[in-house]
Structure 1
Amino acid sequence: MIRAYTSLPFNFISPIVGHLSTHEIPVSWRKTVLGGIASLTGMRMDEASEESFEAYPSFAALFNRELKEFIRPISACQLVSPADGRVLHFGEIVEGRIESVKERDYDIKDFIGPAKIETKPKNKLYQIVIYLAPADYHAFHSPASWDVNEKIHHPGFLLSVNPYFFNLIPTLLAINERVALCGKWKHGFFSYTAVAATNVGDIVIGTKSHKSREKLRYRTVDHEVFDEHYSYKKGEKVGEFRAGSTIVLIFEAPPELRFAIKAGDKLKYGQSLIVKDV
């Protein structure tokens, strides 16, 4: 069943769907068409800066709607949720193996790629996996104040990252298309990976070094090491998806770290991920 599923032409269909989602919808149709999508998926339009469906020219514009100012207060905690979504998995990474489903894991190098991962002797590596459903706000933000010095773009499948498939295929996140930003935060190594999925035609990431938003297409492996690092402040917008997908954080921290989340929790971007600063 898994072999049959991965052989389906998602990589061909998804970019097409992503492109079609940007086509303009006649104003007279928007309330019916976009309103129907919002009702079906459970979108919270009362949180959007513009609540009228007529203001959104396309499906993509609706999915990437801006939120009202101050509706997502950023916690004073040093590590916060990067997105609205649901916690799929979190915890310590032991001996370089990332656990996705109980007793099934994969190597961190298979996921991140050739980034240099060195931790301080007393520190540990941790992971947090957050799934963004179609109804969620689709921009993603910086979970901490940190410096980025390299970007790794991995080609791969465009399989659904719905929790059902995540449990069915334990290595799903390591075989899907993804873009990993790697660098350092106050405790050492820090990585932030946006994972593509079915009907996600592209991921848009804005970087200060490029002074513009960069659209990343999923064709070949690309490892870019920046001559000068650039910095993100906690809560700052990093990029956006064109439909539901997944954010994976892998970071170094002291063993005293205690999470303020559990698997299945619904998150809002900006809320605390840990009990207290370490």
Structure 2
Amino acid sequence: MSQTPGTLLAALRAEPPLVQCITNYVAMNIAANVLLAAGASPAMVSDAEEAGEFAGIAGALTVNIGTLSAPFVDGMRAAIAGAQAAGRPWVLDPVACQATGYRRRVSAELAAQHPTIIRGNASEILALAGEENRGQGVDGRDAVETAEDGARRLALQTGAVVAVTGEVDFVTDGNRHARVEGGSSFMPINTAMGCSLTCLCGAYAAVAQDPFDAAIAALAHFAVAGRHAHEGATGPGSFAPRFLDALHALTPEMLDAQVLVHGVGEAVA
């Protein structure tokens, strides 16, 4: 990594980026709180009347297709165009892109718009790469390792850094790769964890020189904070507030000292 997770966390907190989050209705409040706890500034601006203009002043844009509707998609298109015109990074979260024809069409259209980072579970990444998967609705039922080759091909096809999240996260730009360990067993049974992580990827992309480093830093922040929050939590309900506290309490020094990242920058076999 040219910039470590701790270095990027310090940059994020020194000048908190404004992150435009077009995310689903379930995730909005949680994602906003995650960004605030981490040190960034969220803005849930999605209407086509202003989304494109707002993307020009935001540090990054994140697009999540969790609760699709025609007006939402129009806002996504406008925001992506605005971000690209202003040279801003943008992140795609293809939630349940395998579930319906509408989702398949929209996710394919958006992926063709050259996102900076694509983040999804293994089933979503496999589906977006055009491969067989076992996803059911928003639930990913494929193991991360089964999606690694598909993630590499998707990265080469779209030009995006692809982050496959699960028990051990995998990040690739098609040539380099890394794996990030950590988190908590309570994370998959807390709603909007992945959606919030997508927004945090946007925050780090706003301050990073390399989106590969940005994706690793966002995953690292989640992984270390999840590990801290798990201590003392008795279930998903007690985990959630501990997680926000842990995101906020992590220092750059703690993050670099405690993150478990393997294979950083190595060529994908």
Give the structure, 1 or 2, with the largest relative contact order (CA under 8 Å, sep 6 or more): 1
Establish whether TM, by shorter chain, passes 0.5: no
Relative to the length of structure 1, the TM-score reads 0.28
Relative to the length of structure 2, the TM-score reads 0.28
**Going by fraction, where is helix more abundant, 1 or 2?**
2
Larger Rg: 1
**Going by fraction, where is strand more abundant, 1 or 2?**
1
